[in-house]
Amino acid sequence: MTPNLHIRLGQQAARHADKLRFLVVGGIGFSVDGGFLLLLNDCAGWSPLLARSIGFPVAITVTWWLNRIWTFQTDRSQSMRRQYAFYLAIQLTGMAINFSIFALLVRTMPWFVIWPIAALAIGSIMAMFVTYILSRRIVFAATKAPHA
pLDDT digits (tens, 9 = 90+) for 10-24: 666 667 888 999 999
Q: What is the mean pLDDT of the chain?
A: 86
Farthest CA pair distance, the chain: 58
The span from the CA of 12 to the CA of 50, in Å, is 42
The span from the CA of 56 to the CA of 94, in Å, is 11
pLDDT digits (tens, 9 = 90+) for 96-126: 998 899 999 999 999 999 999 899 899 989 9
Domain-wise residue ranges, the chain = 17-139
pLDDT digits (tens, 9 = 90+) for 43-62: 999 998 899 899 989 999 99
Determine the average pLDDT of the residues in 132-148: 72
75 φ, ψ (degrees, to nearest 5): -65, 120
User: DSSP labels for 77-105?
Assistant: TS-HHHHHHHHHHHHHHHHHHHHHHHHHH
pTM of the model: 0.73
pLDDT of residue 133 exceeding 80: yes
pLDDT digits (tens, 9 = 90+) for 76-88: 677 889 899 999 9
In this prediction, residue 52 carries a pLDDT of: 86
Cβ-in-10-Å burial (0-12, 13-18, 19+) of 45 comes to exposed
pLDDT of residue 2 exceeding 90: no
Q: Are 118 and 81 in contact (CB under 8 A)?
A: no
